[in-house]
Structure 1
Amino acid sequence: MSLFFTTKKTDKGSGLGLSMVYGFIRQSKGRIKIESSVGVGTSVYLQLPLARALTPASVSLPNPSITFMSKQTLLLVEDNAVLRATLIEQLQLEYYCVVAVSSAEEAMVYLANSASKVMCLLSDIGLLEIDGIALAHYVREHYPHIAIVLMTGNQTNITKQAQEFMILHKPFKTAQLLEHIQRATRRHTNKDLPLK
């Protein structure tokens, strides 16, 4: 079953809203029901399992492979406000310091003043004006100490210019997101590691 569709024109968005919702629901072991009628509208029903309170015995210590980067900054570039907020929450729960912007232009302004704080760029490819691939090349040229991960939900966005970077395909799970960031960061500091 695929929930991917879009009414948006090329370069105007990926239409990944339902796909991200579906991925989140599956990851959470819940259910989704959609009812749609022409001229009436669409209703989306989400069913999530009841959360259980953590007992002291079930509380685990933070993952050392993640917390060693806790005081370093990750620059997130995502023009979808809902997805941006979700990614911020996921990354902060994993002890990342996140600076989030909605465009490549905003990212460039931030880097001009604070690039030394940034350890990794996490950017969507399908940005308006300056896309994520152009931003990645700009960062590589001007701030070579920064690792780069690009996100996309559209296979046609992946050109030869993007293949040299780590690519994360939407929708993805939190574990996949963290793995890509950590692999990109390790690879960046150890150039002989393979990209994939």
Structure 2
Amino acid sequence: MSDHPPPPQPPEDVQEISTPEQFSALAHPLRQRLLFSLGHRPATIGRLAEQLGTTKGNVAHHLKVLREAGLVHIAETRRVRGGTEQHYQRTARRMIVAEPQEAGTAAMLTAVAQELDRSPADTHLTLRHVRLGPAKARELGEALAQLVDEVEDDPDEGQPTHGVLVALYQRGGDPVSADTPGQR
């Protein structure tokens, strides 16, 4: 019996986060970290608890919330030593939040901060504010999205997993020019 089940393909490539239940589910840092951990292959509650440094009961509770919100599902169930082992998987390879809400964004950034604190390697984190017109901002956003989409997983599964966080936003309180799309 293999230690790692073969990763089944998720039913969707991209899932848009849009329901109140999904936003509520994303509003907890551990749930964000569970989604990060399930990004490449299904995992059991025990494996997730060990990986995230928490209890199986805590992981089970948060997986239930994610499952009820339609963000994870049971990918495989196996009989093991007289019991049943369930492997959980994200419902999509990528999840897009079209209209971010403050609680979900705060939880995601808290989860990223926790991941950075636990990283055994040097990390790179930069925040820079630049003045860009609407066309340049759109161009930069498209270039960043393309860069992230083009990154391929290393075929050697023994390699470490790296997190990539990309954000492009217009700072609140800045003046909005007349030629900014959707603004008057």
How does the TM-score come out when normalised to structure 2? 0.26
Report 1 or 2 for greater relative contact order, CA contacts < 8 Å, sequence distance ≥ 6. Answer: 2
TM-score, length-scaled by structure 1:
0.25
